[in-house]
Amino acid sequence: AQTVTQSQPEMSVQEAETVTLSCTYDTSESNYYLFWYKQPPSRQMILVIRQEAYKQQNATENRFSVNFQKAAKSFSLKISDSQLGDTAMYFCAFRYSGGGADGLTFGKGTHLIIQP
């Protein structure tokens, strides 16, 4: 079974700064997907960014980018030019891609606070 570890329970940065959230995972599989989800106070889960394990190029979505290190099983999220609306819980998640319909395995989350 896979596990996802987020070692930063909470982080706080000033608006416009860059912040990096860490995530490591453990799996014996070689084909999988990794995700970062944002959960604001409304508790609606919002997909931030996703990465296929077979792709070497790091995924980027506007101000959000990842540093995917497959050998190290690391998947960190970088948020550039942080905004007040980025304040939320951020969850790293893993999904096996070997077929079927496996659910997501989530890390414990990082509470990100953007200070004005």
Partner 1 sequence: GAVVSQHPSWVICKSGTSVKIECRSLDFQATTMFWYRQFPKQSLMLMATSNEGSKATYEQGVEKDKFLINHASLTLSTLTVTSAHPEDSSFYICSARPLESYGYTFGSGTRLTVV
Stretch that binds partner 1, among 12-20, 23-31, 53-61, 90-98 (CB under 8 A): 90-98
Beta carbons of 91 and 109 less than 8 angstroms apart = yes
Instruction: Pick the closest to residue 20 from 79, 72, 74 (CA basis).
Output: 79
Using the minimum distance from each CB to partner 1, give the nearer residue, 13 or 45.
Answer: 45
What are phi and psi for residue 84, nearest 5 degrees? -55, -35
Contact 25, 94 (CB under 8 A): yes
Kindly tell me which residue out of 21, 53, 88, 107 binds partner 1, with binding defined by CB under 8 A.
Answer: 107
Residue with tokens 């997909």: 47
| Residues belonging to the chain | 116
Exactly one of 41, 56, 99, 101 binds partner 1 (CB under 8 A); which one?
Answer: 101
Could you say whether residue 11 binds partner 1 (CB under 8 A)? no
Strand (E) or helix (H) holding 67: strand 64-69
- 97 lies in the binding site for partner 1 (CB under 8 A): yes
Site string for partner 1, 27-66 (x = CB under 8 A): ------x-x-x----xxxx-x--x-x--------------
Binding residues for partner 1, per CB under 8 A? Answer: 33, 35, 37, 42-45, 47, 50, 52, 91, 95, 97, 101-109
